[in-house]
């Protein structure tokens, strides 16, 4: 029988769990406005942890090693990114004004493509019910104009909203210093506090670090290379605003099975349709052999085949993550998906090897 003496500890335990949940939610709520800074601080600390440890072996001073690591990040990442963002804002301003004034009109390019189509293709379009080509051309041109204006406006907004960005940036650097210096002790405290078996905590911790490294080191590096290759091709072909298109290609490269081809392929089709056969074929070959193969060649080297989730899972989690969390969702989405898979793998092992007869993960 359970008496009053046994009910009191049970009530105290439940009260403490409620208090724990309450203060945890309140703490996350307080940090939420700075969640981007926290996310990128943690991500960069994980990615650059090997560099910090190498410097620590030489300097023997954690604070100095953390400061030198941040200096390397500033030189290798922040300064080039600042230059690219400046060029992006300048080109976006020009494109925005050209679209707004009507000087840059996609309907004109669509009309040129229609004029260059062979007669057999026009007849095929008519048989498919696309006989009202002028109406289709107007709708397509209007959609493309609105899309380009939207992208240019977003790029301008990003460049103009500098105050919030600078605040988050300096908070991220401040947090990054302490995560590099004290990250190992902090991770040990978190692991000790989690009410899970040691094998489960080890599996989840390894999965967390692996996905962060894969997303930041692998996906972003591949995206930057693909965007740079695409921007270089557009610059050689004298296509307007190559930096703007390069950034768009880099962004789309984060999506598996979609990629930068959504940008360079329509441009190649336009070049072919307007009689620039050499440029069109050259862009198709360059896009397929140079830009397209970067993902297949570099991603396994930078990420590792064993850490890559199925492409359809990455695609869905990336799109869903960005829909919920904005630009940070391309990291958060795959991370949540990976942790979901890892937890259910643990459940599967638990069912296959019950408690008392489990294998270490």
pLDDT digits (tens, 9 = 90+) for 203-234: 788 888 888 877 777 777 888 888 889 889 88
Half-sphere CA count of 221, side-chain side, radius 13 A = 15
Question: pLDDT value at position 70?
Answer: 92
Query: How far is it, in rounded angstroms, from Cα 248 to Cα 88?
Result: 10
* CA distances in angstroms from 281 to 126, 276, 337, listed in the order given: 27, 9, 39
Question: pLDDT value at position 114?
Answer: 61
Could you give the 3-state DSSP secondary structure of residue 254? Answer: coil
Predicted TM-score (pTM) of this structure = 0.68
CB 194 within 8 Å of CB 201? yes
Q: Which residues of the chain have pLDDT under 50?
A: 1, 159-160, 359-361
In degrees, rounded to 5, the angle at the alpha carbon of residue 236 between the alpha carbons of residues 235 and 240 is 35
CB 255 within 8 Å of CB 319? yes
CA dihedral 61, 67, 72, 77 (to 10 degrees): 140
Tokens of 71: 């200096």
Tokens of 286: 């360059």
pLDDT digits (tens, 9 = 90+) for 91-131: 777 766 666 666 665 566 666 666 666 666 666 666 666 55
pLDDT digits (tens, 9 = 90+) for 197-211: 777 778 788 888 888
CB 48 within 8 Å of CB 154? no
Query: How far is it, in rounded angstroms, from Cα 29 to Cα 15?
Result: 21
Structural domain spans, the chain: 34-193, 196-361
Query: How far is it, in rounded angstroms, from Cα 313 to Cα 250?
Result: 20
């Amino acid at each position: 029988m359970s008496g009053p003496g046994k009910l009191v500890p049970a009530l105290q335990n439940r009260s403490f769990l409620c208090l724990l949940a309450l203060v945890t939610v309140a703490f996350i709520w307080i940090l939420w406005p700075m969640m981007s800074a926290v996310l990128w601080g943690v991500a960069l600390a994980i990615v650059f942890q090997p560099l910090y440890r190498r410097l620590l072996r030489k300097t023997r001073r954690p604070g100095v090693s953390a400061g030198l690591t941040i200096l390397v990040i500033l030189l290798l990442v922040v300064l080039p990114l600042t230059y690219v963002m400046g060029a992006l804002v300048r080109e976006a301003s020009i494109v925005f004004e050209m679209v707004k004034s009507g000087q840059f009109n996609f309907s004109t390019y669509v009309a040129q493509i229609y004029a260059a189509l062979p007669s057999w293709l026009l007849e095929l379009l008519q048989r498919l019910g696309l006989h009202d080509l002028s109406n289709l051309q107007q709708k397509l041109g209007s959609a493309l104009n609105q899309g380009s204006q939207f992208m240019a406006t977003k790029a301008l907004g990003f460049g103009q909203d500098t105050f919030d960005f600078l605040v988050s940036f300096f908070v991220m650097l401040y947090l990054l210093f302490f995560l590099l210096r004290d990250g190992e002790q902090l991770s040990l405290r978190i692991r000790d506090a989690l009410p899970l078996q040691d094998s489960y905590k080890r599996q989840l911790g390894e999965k967390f670090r692996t996905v962060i490294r894969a997303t930041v080191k692998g996906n972003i590096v591949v995206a930057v290379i693909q965007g740079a290759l695409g921007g270089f091709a557009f610059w050689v072909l004298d296509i307007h605003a190559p930096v703007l298109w390069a950034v768009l290609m880099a962004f789309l490269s984060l999506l598996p099975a979609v990629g930068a081809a959504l940008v360079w392929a329509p441009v190649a089709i336009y070049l072919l349709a307007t009689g620039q056969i050499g440029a069109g074929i050259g862009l198709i070959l360059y896009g397929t052999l140079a830009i397209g193969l970067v993902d297949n060649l570099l991603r396994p080297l930078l990420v590792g085949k064993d850490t890559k989730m199925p492409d359809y899972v990455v695609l869905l989690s990336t799109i869903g993550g960005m829909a919920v969390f904005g630009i940070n969702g391309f990291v958060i989405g795959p991370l949540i998906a990976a942790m979901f898979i890892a937890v259910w793998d643990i459940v599967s092992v638990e069912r296959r090897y019950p408690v008392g007869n489990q294998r270490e993960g």
